[in-house]
């Protein structure tokens, strides 16, 4: 099913997409980066456990140079052009501290929601977001000194989309022009019985 079937959607879910055509001249200013991380920080979480953390690499800085080689080959073809790569982590056990929060079974869920809020903030700033899992998670944990009770989870490429009249990378442009598709609602929204489509009139 394509978006044509969902005319009432807000512009944001309607127009966002995981673009591969980043403008590699765009520089993310501190205020924009801070606003996106603040949006993640203010996400709800189970028992207010806030089981998320972020590693930030800006294009051209030392972290970027260290972390880009850990991307999968496919992601190397587009992600380094983004203005920043934010790697996300969630807590998978209680920390060693005396007053450590009890680990929550909902940590991965909470991180996902924090990234969703970061994405909403990014789109409101006129930026685009492309999440990715294709990178060497263990290599990144080792490079960044991640404690054992944290799990490196995803990467988030942030930046400005290349102008429409800029040819950019042909393969990336071609992928970005493909229609976005989703399963129909009847396959995921049920009434009281799993598998029985919700009656939406």
Ligand X SMILES: Cc1cc2nc3c(=O)[nH]c(=O)nc-3n(C[C@H](O)[C@H](O)[C@H](O)COP(=O)(O)O)c2cc1C
**What are the start-end ranges of the E strands in the chain?**
52-58, 84-91, 128-132, 150-159
- Among the listed residues 133, 171, 189, 198, the single contact to ligand X using CB under 6 A: 133
Helix (H) or strand (E) holding 14, with range, is helix 11-15
Q: Which stretch binds ligand X (CB under 6 A): 82-90, 96-104, 127-135, 186-194?
A: 127-135
Give the integer Cα–Cα distance in Å for 98 and 110.
23
Helix (H, G, I), strand (E, B) or coil at 51: coil
- Among the listed residues 43, 63, 106, 134, the single contact to ligand X using CB under 6 A: 134
Give the integer Cα–Cα distance in Å for 71 and 135.
4
- Among the listed residues 49, 76, 117, 131, the single contact to ligand X using CB under 6 A: 131
Q: Which stretch binds ligand X (CB under 6 A): 24-32, 96-104, 125-133, 142-150?
A: 125-133
Q: Site mask, ligand X, residues 52-91, x = CB under 6 A?
A: -----------------------x----------------
* Residue 171 contacts residue 77 (beta carbons within 8 Å): yes
Residues that bind ligand X (CB under 6 A): 17-18, 75, 131-134, 154, 180
């Amino acid at each position: 099913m394509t978006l044509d079937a969902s005319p009432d959607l807000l512009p944001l879910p309607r127009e966002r997409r995981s673009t591969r055509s980043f403008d590699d001249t765009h520089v993310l200013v501190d205020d924009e980066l801070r606003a996106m991380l603040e949006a993640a920080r203010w996400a709800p979480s189970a028992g207010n456990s806030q089981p998320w953390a972020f590693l930030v690499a800006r294009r051209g800085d030392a972290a970027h140079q260290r972390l880009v080689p850990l991307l999968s080959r496919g992601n190397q073809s587009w992600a380094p052009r983004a203005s920043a790569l934010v790697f996300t982590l969630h807590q998978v056990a209680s920390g060693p501290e005396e007053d450590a929060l009890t680990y929550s079974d909902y940590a991965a869920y909470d991180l996902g929601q924090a990234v969703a809020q970061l994405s909403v903030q990014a789109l409101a700033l006129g930026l685009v977001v492309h999440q990715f899992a294709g990178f060497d998670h263990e290599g990144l944990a080792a490079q960044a000194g991640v404690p054992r009770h944290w799990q490196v989870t995803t990467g988030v490429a942030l930046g400005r989309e290349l102008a429409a009249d800029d040819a950019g990378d042909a393969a990336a442009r071609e992928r970005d022009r493909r229609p976005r598709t989703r399963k129909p609602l009847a396959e995921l929204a049920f009434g009281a019985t799993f598998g029985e489509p919700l009656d939406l009139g």
